[in-house]
Amino acid sequence: MKPILYLSVAALLLAGSALAQTPSPTNLGRNAFPQVGKDGRVTFRVKAPDAPALTVNLGKDYPMTKDADGVWTATTDPQVEGFHYYSLKAGGLSFNDPAVHSYFGMGRWASAVEVPGAPDAAFYTPRQGVPQGAVRSVRFFSKVCGEWRRMYVYTPAGYELNPSARYPVLYLQHGGGEDETGWIYQGFADVILDNLVADGKAVPMIIVMVSGVAHPAGDPAADAFDQMVTEDVIPFVDARFRTLADRDHRAVAGLSWGAKQAYDLGLGYRNLFSWVGGFSGIIVIGEFRTRPAGYEDPEKFAAAYNGVFKDPAWFNANYHLVFIANGEAEGSHLKGMSGILKERGIDNVFYQSPRTAHEWLTWRRCLYEFAQRLFK
Amino acid sequence: MKPILYLSVAALLLAGSALAQTPSPTNLGRNAFPQVGKDGRVTFRVKAPDAPALTVNLGKDYPMTKDADGVWTATTDPQVEGFHYYSLKAGGLSFNDPAVHSYFGMGRWASAVEVPGAPDAAFYTPRQGVPQGAVRSVRFFSKVCGEWRRMYVYTPAGYELNPSARYPVLYLQHGGGEDETGWIYQGFADVILDNLVADGKAVPMIIVMVSGVAHPAGDPAADAFDQMVTEDVIPFVDARFRTLADRDHRAVAGLSWGAKQAYDLGLGYRNLFSWVGGFSGIIVIGEFRTRPAGYEDPEKFAAAYNGVFKDPAWFNANYHLVFIANGEAEGSHLKGMSGILKERGIDNVFYQSPRTAHEWLTWRRCLYEFAQRLFK
C-alpha cells in the first residue's frame, strides 16, 4: 500500500499546485478576487450586469467576458512575482477595482495585485517578536512651496526607549506618479528595516519620505524639489527628530524618477549627503541615453554636479557609497552606467534583483540591500 | 468719486462672491475640478471622449453632459458644508474620480469633495507655530483575529520631549465602511487635538484608531471586535506606549456604527472605560427605534450591559462622561435618546453640530467638543 499512498499524496499535491489560486494580498477584507495562480496568472472578477463591456489593464488590455450572472472575468498572462498596478476600463475611462486596496500610483489612487512567489518574501514579511519601529505621518509647512505638506517618518525600534540616542537619516523617494505613502504601503520599508535591525544586519536609522512633487509658491509650472528638501525638509527633520545631523550620517535614495532626484540631491549637495542610492533610475549627465552621452565627454562628466566627479580620488574618499540597482527584467543599461562610472574611477556598488521588473518587489529588494550597507 | 468707488468695489465683491468657485481641498495636486461654488453647488468635470454616458453620484445621481472636447460636466444641488463621498458611474459600475484623493469609505477607496464654508474651520486647520503631535501607523498581531493588523496612534506634542510622562488614552472608532485611517484623513483628529492642546483647551492624550471590522480566526462570519480590543489592542497599547493604564484615564468614542461599538465597549466593560462618546450613533437596548423600545421597559433597561444603568447613582458617580452628539440635519432622535437617559437618571451631555449631516464635519465638531471634556 505504501507506494500507492505516496503516489496519491504526490498526485494530490501536484493537482493542488496546478490548480491553486490564492486571493491577492491586496484584496480588501476577505474578498476572494482577484486571485493569483501558481503560474502567476491573475484572474479578475467584477459583478456588473449592466456594463456593456469591461476590460482589465495590467501591463496590457485584457477584455473581460460576462457570465449569465453578470459577473465579468479575465485571466492575464503569467506575471512575474511582485506588486503590479492595474486598472479597470469601461467606456473610455480607467478606474479602480473596488475589490482591492488603493495605492497612490500612476498619478492617482490606483488598484494593485501582489503576485506571491518571491523565494525571499520573509525579508518584507512582519514577524512576531521583532521590535517595531514607528511610521509617523507628520505635517510640515513648506516655505518654499507655500503650503502645508505631509511627510512619513520611520523611527526605528528603540527610538523612544533611548530618549537621548541620535540616529542617522535616510531620505527615501518614491517614483513618478506616486507619493510619500509609497515606500510604506507598496514598499514595506518599515517591515524591511524592522527585520534587518532585529537581525543585526542594519544600523537603526530614521527614514524620511516626502512627496517628490514640489512647486515653488506661485509658480505651479516650476520644480522646487531640491530647494524644498534642502531648505525646509532637512532643517525640519533635524529639529523635530533626534538625528545625527551631518553628511556622514545622511543618505538619500529613490526609485525610478525618485532615483534621478536622489542622485540630484546626493551628488549635487555634497555638503549634505555622503551615501547615495538609485533604484531603477539614472544619473543624468548631458543627454543620458542607454550609454550616457555625457559620460563620453570628459568635460561634461567633470562639470556635472558642480564637479563632484572631477577628482575621483576625492570622490571615493568623501562619498561612502554610491549604490546603483534595478530589476533583471529591466535590462542592462544601469549595469552599464555602473560600469562606466567605474571606468571613470568612481567607486559604486551594483545590485540586480532576480527576475523582477520595474515594480515594487525590485525596490523592496533594493532597499534591503542598500540599507545593509548604510552608515557602516 | 468716493461713493462710486465704494459701489464699484461692492459690486465687484458681489460678482466675485456669486461666481466664485474654488477647487475642492480634496483635489489631487493642482487639479482645478471638482470645484465648489459659494452656494455649495459642486461642479465635476471628467475628460472621457469615448464614454457613452457618465453620471456622478453625490447623495443622488446627476447625469453628466459632454461638450465638443469630450469633457463631461455636472453641477449638483447645493451641499451643506463638510466632507461628502461621491462616485462616478458608467456602464452599471461605480468608481473613483481620478482627479481627487481617495479615502477609505463606503467599503472601498472612495472619492470625496470638501465643501468649504464652515465658520469654525479654524479648529481643524493646521496653524504654524502649533506644536505637533505624531500620527503613527503601527502593525500589531491580533491573536483573536489570527492576523497582522494596522492601527493608527496619535501621540500628543511633547510625548517625546517628556520621556517619563504618561498620558490618558482615547480609543476612537470610524464609521461603517471606513477604517482606521478615517479619523486622520477625513476627520483631521490630529490637527484638532494639536490645536486644542496648544490653546490649553484639551489635556494632552493618546488616540488609538483601529479598524472596527474584526473576525475571530477561522470564522469570517462572526464578529470579534470587543474581544480584539479588550484582549489584543488595549494590552498592546499599554505595553507599547506610555499610557495611564486605568479606567479613569481611558475613553472610547466612535461615529455612526463606531458609536454603537463605542457604547458597547464603554458601557459593557466598566472595568476598562469611564468616558464614553457616541457621535451620530445609538445605544442599543432591546430593539432600538426612534424612541428606543428597550428604554421603555425598566427590566430591559436595568439589565442592559450587565446592569450598568441599574443604579443611576452608582453610574453617575463612576462614569465621568457620556457624550451623545449628532448633526442638526440628522434629526432629533439622538437628542431624544439623551433625554430619555436623563429621565432615567443617567447623566449625559448632548451636542448638536449646526446645519451638518451624517458626515465628517459633524464628527470633527463632535471630537472637538468631546475632547475638551475628557480627562478633566
Residue A7 has pLDDT above 70, yes or no: no
The C-alpha cell 436623563 sits at B342
Task: Decide if A200 contacts A238 (C-beta within 8 A).
Answer: no
- Per-residue pLDDT at B13: 39
Cross-chain residue pair B191–A51, CB shorter than 8 Å: no
Cross-chain residue pair B109–A92, CB shorter than 8 Å: no
**Closest CB from B30, B48, B92 relative to A50:** B92
- Per-residue pLDDT at A3: 34
- The rounded distance, in Å, linking the Cα atoms of B88 and B67 is 17
Task: Decide if A98 contacts A27 (C-beta within 8 A).
Answer: no
Q: What value does the mean pLDDT take over residues A334-363? A: 94
Neighboring chain A residues of B49 at a CB cutoff of 8 Å:
92
Please spell the DSSP secondary structure of B151-168, one letter per residue.
EEEEE-TTTTTSTT--B-
Residue A291 has pLDDT above 80, yes or no: no
Chain B's closest residue to A99, CA to CA, is B108
Residue A55 — pLDDT band, cuts 50, 70, 90? Answer: very high
- Per-residue pLDDT at B208: 98
Task: Decide if B46 contacts B34 (C-beta within 8 A).
Answer: no
**Closest CB from A93, A96, A101 relative to B90:** A93
Tell me the three cell numbers of residue A54.
469591461
Chain A's closest residue to B29, CA to CA, is A213
**Closest CB from B109, B136, B148 relative to A135:** B136
- Per-residue pLDDT at B329: 92
Cross-chain residue pair A132–B126, CB shorter than 8 Å: no
User: Is the C-alpha dihedral spanning B313, B316, B322, B325 positive or negative?
Assistant: positive
Residue A222 — pLDDT band, cuts 50, 70, 90? Answer: very high
- Per-residue pLDDT at B291: 55
The beta strands (E) that lie in A205-320 are given as 206-210, 250-255, 275-279
Neighboring chain B residues of A128 at a CB cutoff of 8 Å:
141
Distance to chain A for B295, nearest Cα, Å: 35
**Closest CB from A50, A109, A160 relative to B160:** A160
**Closest CB from A30, A48, A213 relative to B91:** A48
Mark out the alpha helices in chain B (DSSP H runs).
2-19, 182-185, 189-198, 225-227, 234-240, 257-268, 293-296, 298-307, 312-318, 333-343, 360-372
- Identity (one letter) of the amino acid at A203? V
As a whole number of Å, the CA-based R_g of chain B is: 23
Q: Is A21 helix (H, G, I), strand (E, B) or coil?
A: strand
Task: Decide if A35 contacts A43 (C-beta within 8 A).
Answer: yes
Neighboring chain B residues of A92 at a CB cutoff of 8 Å:
48-51
Kindly give the pairing relationship between strand B82-90 and strand B71-75: unpaired
**pLDDT tens per residue across span A124-160:** 999 989 999 999 999 999 999 999 999 999 999 989 8
Give A247 or B286, the one with higher predicted confidence: A247
Interface predicted TM-score of the whole assembly (ipTM), two decimals: 0.81
Residue A297 — pLDDT band, cuts 50, 70, 90? Answer: confident
Report which of B213, B179, B240, B190 is spatially closest to residue A136, judged by C-alpha positions: B190
Residue A329 has pLDDT above 90, yes or no: yes
**What is the pLDDT of chain A when averaged over all its residues?**
90
Cis peptide upstream of residue A354 (ω within 30 degrees of 0):
no
- The rounded distance, in Å, linking the Cα atoms of B250 and B205 is 10
Cross-chain residue pair B29–A213, CB shorter than 8 Å: yes
Neighboring chain A residues of B108 at a CB cutoff of 8 Å:
28, 96, 98-99
Task: Decide if B106 contacts B85 (C-beta within 8 A).
Answer: yes
Q: What value does the mean pLDDT take over residues A278-306? A: 78
Distance to chain A for B228, nearest Cα, Å: 16
Distance to chain B for A345, nearest Cα, Å: 42
pLDDT in tens, chain B (376 residues): 233 333 333 333 333 444 578 999 999 988 999 999 999 999 999 998 888 899 999 999 999 999 999 999 999 999 999 999 999 998 788 899 989 999 999 888 899 999 988 899 999 999 999 999 999 999 999 999 999 999 999 999 989 888 889 999 999 999 999 999 999 999 999 999 999 999 999 999 999 999 999 999 988 889 999 999 999 999 999 999 999 999 999 999 999 999 999 999 999 999 999 999 999 999 887 665 555 556 677 888 888 899 999 999 999 999 999 999 999 999 998 999 899 899 999 999 999 999 999 999 999 999 999 999 999 9
Test mutation, B44, B50, B109, B185, chain A, max A CBs within 10 A: B109
Compute the CA torsion angle A187, A188, A194, A197 (nearest 10 deg).
-20
- The rounded distance, in Å, linking the Cα atoms of A273 and A248 is 7
Q: What value does the mean pLDDT take over residues A32-51? A: 93
Task: Decide if A230 contacts A269 (C-beta within 8 A).
Answer: yes
Q: Which helix (H) or strand (E) holds A89?
A: strand A82-90
- The rounded distance, in Å, linking the Cα atoms of A115 and A118 is 8
Q: What is the pTM of this model?
A: 0.87
SS (H, E, C) A151-194: EEEEECCCCCCCCCCCECEEEEECCCCCCCCHHHHCCCHHHHHH
User: What is the interface size between A and B, counted as CB pairs within 8 Å?
Assistant: 120
- Per-residue pLDDT at A157: 92
Q: What value does the mean pLDDT take over residues A63-72? A: 95
Residue A249 has pLDDT above 70, yes or no: yes
